[in-house]
Structure 1
Amino acid sequence: MAQLFTPLTLRGITLKNRIVISPMCQYSAEDGFTNDWHLVHLGSRAVGGAALILLEATAVSAEGRITPDDLGIWKDEHVPGLRRITDFLKAHGAVAGIQLAHAGRKASHSSPWKGGAVVPASEGGWTTVSPSAVPFTENEPAPHELTLAEIQQIIEDFRVATRLSLEAGFQVIELHGAHGYLLHEFFSPLSNRRTDQYGGSFENRVRLLLEVTEVTRAEWPTELPLIVRISATDWTEGGWTPAESVQLAKLLKDRGVDLIDCSTGGNVPAAQIPVGPGYQVQFAEQVKREASIPTGAVGLITDARQAEDIIASGQADVVLLARESLRDPYFPLHAAFELGVDVAWPPQYERAKPRRR
């Protein structure tokens, strides 16, 4: 049996294989609400055989959206549309997960195919927030530096989003602490210049992520897994480091986190990142080995044997697919055939299932 197709149990949830669909923003919502695009996009990955499907970065407040077109989970009215998706995913053999997020200083931008620029207030944009009044790029407005009271409100927003996620039928939550969004902005010294209890030392910079984790874990049922995505390095001198990621992973493990999803970068625009096949797998391997916690590997994982090698060698416990899943929603079914594993196809597609001669 190929290791890629062995089950993995996290608390009370068992994944049927080690293939996870990474959160991928679709920029296709209105006021945070799902629509048929999200159902078809996510549902096709369940039909395609993925074990866990993580919804795109879903904002815990309207101001936490990257763009006005992002999904949200800050009000009760969002739940029915999300429930429609989770019911479909589970009916087709996938575990339904959601990535809870706040975009921080990278919020209030237009969607990529609309130019990606800052959206001015006159066109529906809003003031962004961050640990410090340091813009992402020099030509963008400085974000508002969060007060202590505003930080507490953001923690509460994550708590409410956790409750709504349970009502919507999700079985896994991933907290988004990567890619230069708010939680990452706090723990990276490149964006956090505070001098209070949320800035300065390592312990202070990781405080917000730990507090969000604690309220999420307290609200989330004990039998359901909690994942945290981190950027394991800023790829920039003076920034966040892999050694700090290991240290953070140990603290997250102590607070009930079940898996660390290891991505990198995103907090500064000029980072020199050596992009190539599997370029981030090394960080999943390091965190898994040194923090003794399950990890997920992501980043240019594009073929079945590459994915199998990552799992079989013990570098990570799951692989997360993004762009390859966009190219091939049925990657798990095709990978199983390539690796000689017989997995069930949806009965509607059975006539197309390849057979070994």
Structure 2
Amino acid sequence: MSTLFSEAVLSAPSGQLALRNRTFLAPMCMYSVDARDGVPTPWHLVHLGARAAGGFGMVIAEATAVVPEGRISPEDLGLWNDEQVAAFRPITAFIKSQGAAAGVQLAHAGAKASTYGNVPRFVSQGLTGSVPAGDGGWVTVAPSATAAHGLAEPRPLSVEEIADSVRAWAAAARRADEAGFDFIQIHAAHGYLIHQFLSPLTNSREDGYGGSYEGRTRYLREVVTAVRAVWPAEKPLGVRFSGSDWVDGGWTIEETALLSVELRSLGVTVFDLSSGGIGAYRGPVGPGYQIALADAVKKALAADAAERGVDNDAFVTAVGMITTAQQAEQVLVNGQADGVSIARAALREPNWAALAARELGEAVEKTPSAPQYWRAHW
């Protein structure tokens, strides 16, 4: 049996979530809510459902905004009202009916909100960057006014607005439970709002939410605490980090590792390691280019558990140009991560997980593909 297709367990404060394998469908924006109301559509059912039928252990829905102004684009998903909850329920039910777990990435884009989706229908018309108010855009918010993203300047959040924002994350988490999701991933990566608080490149505040490491990480710690308080104790909670800004004076992998250990004490058990997102990308590029970040966080969490004399129940996933079954398997065999998140390769091939299982020699009857596709077995 391969490591990649061994069962996995995600821990929670008073429960566990079992996964049939260690493949995660990474959250990827579809920019497909044409009504601009945040309500998922048949497209989202087909897109996510196909990957569940294709064998993934966990299917994570794209960045889903906790408030309307937190959307990356007007065409993004949301979880700020009951209509969205109702529309998500058949999607999560179908994902789970195919043997996968259903996850959602809760998000707030901050200064990178109110932009045109990076898809051909907008790009072909020359529509890029910030969406003007006349075309459905809005004034964005951030920890500080910044031009780091090359977009319309955001309005700095007041302390009172930060508190309101934390409550919005918790409200969205409650709705995620009502919608049937098994898992929440808090989006703290890619230059969006939480990452904007973490990085000195975008956080120049002089109050308790800026300056030192303690101040810059305060917002995320408050979000995690609020979400964990309402998210069922038997369900795991995760965070996606940009492990490094890849810029001198920016957010670093050392800070990411330290914060991961601190968040583990607040109830986060699943960590996904990406990178960059503030300004132009300056990091490495190539197959598995972010695996070292996952490895660093995994080692920090293991060392902390060993020091405290407790079992290490953290689960770390690697992401970034992991495209082949052998490559994914090697990451796990090397101990650099506990699972892999597949993104672009899964856009090209919905059955990536089922195909990978066969490439790694799994028995036909253990290949995680929909039984309706039995004629396609080798």
Output the TM-score relative to the length of structure 2. Answer: 0.92
Output the TM-score relative to the length of structure 1. Answer: 0.97
Q: Distance in 1 between matches of 2:138 and 2:40?
A: 22
Indicate whether 1:282 and 2:303 are aligned.
Answer: no
Residues 146-157 of structure 1 mapped to structure 2, 5 A cutoff = 146-157=157-168
Task: Report the CA distance between 1:251 and its aligned residue.
Answer: 0.8
From 95, 107, 126, the counterpart of 2:138: 126
Contact 2:10-2:315 within 8 A present in 1 as well: no
Structure 2 SS opposite 1:17: coil
Structure 2 SS opposite 1:100: strand
Q: Distance in 2 between matches of 1:274 and 1:149?
A: 39
Task: Report the CA distance between 1:135 and its aligned residue.
Answer: 2.5
Residues 202-241 of structure 1 mapped to structure 2, 5 A cutoff = 202-241=213-252
Could you say which residue in structure 2 is the equivalent of 1:24? 28
- Residue range with higher mean Cα deviation, 172-181 or 291-300: 291-300
Distance verdict in 2 for CA 1:137–1:332, change over 3 Å = closer
Contact 1:19-1:320 within 8 A present in 2 as well: yes
- Residue range with higher mean Cα deviation, 298-307 or 284-293: 284-293
Could you say which residue in structure 1 is the equivalent of 2:337? 316
Distance verdict in 2 for CA 1:172–1:137, change over 3 Å = closer
Q: Distance in 2 between matches of 1:348 and 1:10?
A: 29
Could you say which residue in structure 2 is the equivalent of 1:340? 361
Task: Report the CA distance between 1:272 and its aligned residue.
Answer: 1.4
Unaligned runs of 5+ in 2: 303-313
- The CA deviation string for residues 147-169 of structure 1, in whole angstroms up to 9 with x for no partner, is 00110111011010000000000
Q: Distance in 2 between matches of 1:318 and 1:209?
A: 24
Q: Distance in 2 between matches of 1:89 and 1:289?
A: 32
Indicate whether 1:170 and 2:170 are aligned.
Answer: no
Distance verdict in 2 for CA 1:67–1:300, change over 3 Å = same
- The CA deviation string for residues 163-188 of structure 1, in whole angstroms up to 9 with x for no partner, is 00000000000000000000000010
Task: Report the CA distance between 1:294 and its aligned residue.
Answer: 2.3
Q: Distance in 1 between matches of 2:152 and 2:44?
A: 32
Could you say which residue in structure 2 is the equivalent of 1:260? 271
Root mean square deviation of aligned Cα: 0.9
Indicate whether 1:85 and 2:91 are aligned.
Answer: yes
Task: Report the CA distance between 1:239 and its aligned residue.
Answer: 0.3
Task: Report the CA distance between 1:128 and its aligned residue.
Answer: 0.4
Structure 1 SS opposite 2:238: strand
Amino acid aligned to 2:110: G
Structure 1 SS opposite 2:77: coil
Could you say which residue in structure 1 is the equivalent of 2:117? 111
- Residue range with higher mean Cα deviation, 127-136 or 83-92: 127-136
Amino acid aligned to 2:31: Y
- The CA deviation string for residues 81-121 of structure 1, in whole angstroms up to 9 with x for no partner, is 10010000000000000000000000001111313321111
Q: Distance in 1 between matches of 2:370 and 2:134?
A: 49
Q: Distance in 1 between matches of 2:215 and 2:128?
A: 32
From 133, 137, 143, the counterpart of 2:154: 143
Q: Distance in 2 between matches of 1:216 and 1:267?
A: 25
Q: Distance in 1 between matches of 2:277 and 2:149?
A: 12
- The CA deviation string for residues 288-340 of structure 1, in whole angstroms up to 9 with x for no partner, is 00222321100000000000001111100110000000011101111111111
Indicate whether 1:57 and 2:57 are aligned.
Answer: no
Q: Distance in 1 between matches of 2:198 and 2:244?
A: 11
Structure 1 SS opposite 2:273: strand
Q: Distance in 1 between matches of 2:243 and 2:111?
A: 20
- Residue range with higher mean Cα deviation, 32-41 or 340-349: 340-349
- Matched residue count: 352
Contact 1:105-1:135 within 8 A present in 2 as well: no
Contact 1:18-1:319 within 8 A present in 2 as well: yes
Q: Distance in 1 between matches of 2:178 and 2:298?
A: 32
Amino acid aligned to 1:10: L
Amino acid aligned to 1:143: P
Amino acid aligned to 1:347: P
Could you say which residue in structure 2 is the equivalent of 1:5? 5
Q: Distance in 2 between matches of 1:184 and 1:5?
A: 32
Q: State the identity %.
A: 48
Indicate whether 1:97 and 2:103 are aligned.
Answer: yes
Structure 2 SS opposite 1:4: coil
Q: Distance in 1 between matches of 2:22 and 2:371?
A: 22
Amino acid aligned to 2:223: V
Q: Distance in 2 between matches of 1:88 and 1:174?
A: 20
Unaligned runs of 5+ in 1: none
Amino acid aligned to 2:86: P
Amino acid aligned to 1:237: D
- The CA deviation string for residues 194-219 of structure 1, in whole angstroms up to 9 with x for no partner, is 00000000011000000000011110
